[in-house]
Amino acid sequence: MISDQGFDQFNIWEHSANVKELYRRRCRQEEPEMDCAAQAIEILAPLAEPGDQLLDAGCGSGYFFHSVRRIGMDLTYEGIDASRCLIEIGREELPPYGCDPSRLNVMRMEDLVGSVDHAVCLNVLSNIDNYHRPLERLLLAARKSVIIRESLWEKPSQYLYVHDKFLDPEVNLKVHVNTYCLLEVLKFAQSYGFSGEAIIDRRTRGRPEPVIGYDHHWAFLVFRRNK
């Protein structure tokens, strides 16, 4: 007997009650704005124009919508995430704040086609098998800019596939914890017609931060489409 349910079965974000509750509280604004979200919206603000369309790729439950609202940006917000349970939380919790639930969709970045003005992707690419295909889709879709925050350093890329000890009891799954070569990612984006720059992550100031017991080397990369 075989089935096509493997993605959800092996998707760690479908197996953490703590994460689901945290994301619900973020949607309800019962948690402080994430430092990376606050920095991302500050980076985006001078790049965006009224009426631009923003894609929040790997949005979780879409709580970055609150960061857009906070600074009063006139943007059309679209959020996609591969985890159905997280999108459902956003569809339940964000409409009272003005987010149309149709703007939140279950979708892998690899399956994305279309165009937007800007794309933001925070803390996602480091925890999947590789960045190439999802980042390619964002670069192909973005008319103006792509902003990512990932584990990045100046050394060659490091790929780890490790047990996640913070999931629900009796769930035994592995997750990718990758740190990518910053220069390699910059060159990759340049090959798609973008110029890029690295920005120090304000939360960690270049220091490694343990997440699920493994160091992450957070940094922002900002890609602007060449004219």
Q: How confident is the model at residue 5 (pLDDT cuts 50, 70, 90)?
A: confident
pTM (2 d.p.): 0.96
Q: How confident is the model at residue 143 (pLDDT cuts 50, 70, 90)?
A: very high
- Segment 160-168 shows an average pLDDT of 94
Select the CATH number that applies to the domain covering 6-225 from these four: 3.40.50.300, 3.40.50.150, 3.10.620.30, 3.40.50.2300.
Answer: 3.40.50.150
DSSP-assigned letter for residue 101? G
Compute the distance between CA of residue 50 and CA of residue 67 in angstroms, rounded to an integer. Answer: 16
Helix, strand, coil share of the chain (percent; to 5): 35, 30, 35
Parse the chain into domains and list their residue ranges.
6-225
- Segment 16-23 shows an average pLDDT of 96
* Per-residue pLDDT tens digits for 33-76: 999 999 999 999 999 999 999 999 999 999 999 999 999 989 99
User: Are residues 58 and 109 in contact, defined by beta-carbon separation less than 8 angstroms?
Assistant: yes
DSSP-assigned letter for residue 158? B
User: Are residues 25 and 31 in contact, defined by beta-carbon separation less than 8 angstroms?
Assistant: yes
Max CA distance (Å), the chain: 54
